[in-house]
Structure 1
Amino acid sequence: MEKQNPAIRVHGLRKSYQQLPVLEGVDFEVAAGSIFALLGSNGAGKTTTVRILATLLQPDDGTASVNGFDVVSQPAQVRESISLTGQFAAVDEILTGRENLVMIAKLRQVPNPRRVADDLLERFGLTDAAGRRVAAYSGGMRRRLDIAMSLIGDPPVIFLDEPTTGLDPEARIEVWQVVKNLATSGTTVLLTTQYLEEAEKLADRIAILHRGTIIVSGTLAELRKLLPSAKAEYVERQPTLEEIFLAIVGRDKTAESSQGGQR
């Protein structure tokens, strides 16, 4: 069987702001139809990576392609292939859920915008709230609507930049289910997160980004092999992703805090 090309390919990616290096040679690949988690603390370079892949920022060096298109030389084709959902839901609170979806469908010149809106409302469990103003939605409902809006036009690749920031545990679980469903339907998902449990629950593969470099990458099972199993009363226990992360990255936050906030 012929090997499928990765949906996202990043090699030697570098980016600095003035004299401050943010990315220092980032390398990873994301298989089509999979969920890939870019895990790291605030300031690790996660958002900078996503902004480069979304053609919102130019890299200083290295190469990156999305859906087979180079982010520097073919930005228009990349933009047609992706959707980006940021850390906060980009929805119009004055409009209803259906009106938000219809508006985006019209802007993207999608045929039958009302039918598209109704299909997405049903898919994301928002049909009963379709006629309500978004201002009355819960945090989880807003985020589900935001992700639904990003899927209009059926982009093969979606970037979710810390999609559960500020959500309560119940809303976070709602979003997790939505992300799982995206991958099941064939959408490639690149998820950035600082929540260890989120990466552990969702991702097919996890890359830990620390001080601008991918220091380890693999499946959860592969990462677990980096640490010995803990044994208590002769019962073997696999290390959690939190234990792996802390063992690899360490607890030293001094250098990171000096770099400022989220990049």
Structure 2
Amino acid sequence: MGDPEAGGKLPHGQGVEVPGAAFGYHALVLGALSAEVVRRATGRSVQELFAERVRDPYGVDFHLGLPAEQESRFLAARPVVATPERLAALAASTSHPNSLSGIAFNRQHPGNPSVWELPNLPVVRASGTASFGGVASARGLARMYAAAIGPVDGSPPLLDPGTVALAGQIQSTGHGLVLGVRKAFTIGFHATSEYHPQLGQGSFGHSGAGGQQAFADPRNGIAYGYTRRRTPFPAAAGPENDRLIRALYTAAAH
């Protein structure tokens, strides 16, 4: 944050970042922001467009708004295994609800559920809110990214080569102000090769707080999807993804 002493007194005693000088992970609020852009640009909801342009034409097992007849397939997410050491670490690292990270994860709202609990709420699954309301299988995640970069079962790629290149172009990298760790982002995606060096440059995707990971690697023609039920510690892509991704690329090389 900015230094109030250097720039004069600021409202409410808070520092202000110069636009473009830093970045932060939008977390839960990204869904509201992006969905509104989609609505204003097209007059349609992001859920409608996703079903029309991605899920239905490519047969992707991914729902933004889970139909009632699919509810029996849903497996509830589970919390982090709480050990005394982990609880102490969480308590020591938890930021104030009115901090940037608190706002990004909606913790300033009284009674707000933990992130891992959100997909377990029927209203969340039914609404398919972008950022945390999607329900997908690992195959569905992989197929979605495969369709983004190449033909799938005779259907042409969803994105043209220029758009794929833009999707993999790094826009922000360095110390993220929300999560407080180094991050690298493209346009709405993780720059996945920055997290997994085995990938080709221009890879893009995103992990999930519950341990999920999914991405497209256009240079190598690979799409990857992984899901798990138990939230890892810390909440982020499960550490087993490193081993699985290395094995995948070793197999692909042979």
Q: TM-score scaled by structure 2?
A: 0.22
Q: TM-score scaled by structure 1?
A: 0.22
* More helix by percentage: 2
* More strand by percentage: 1
Q: Which has the bigger relative contact order, CA under 8 A and spacing at least 6?
A: 1
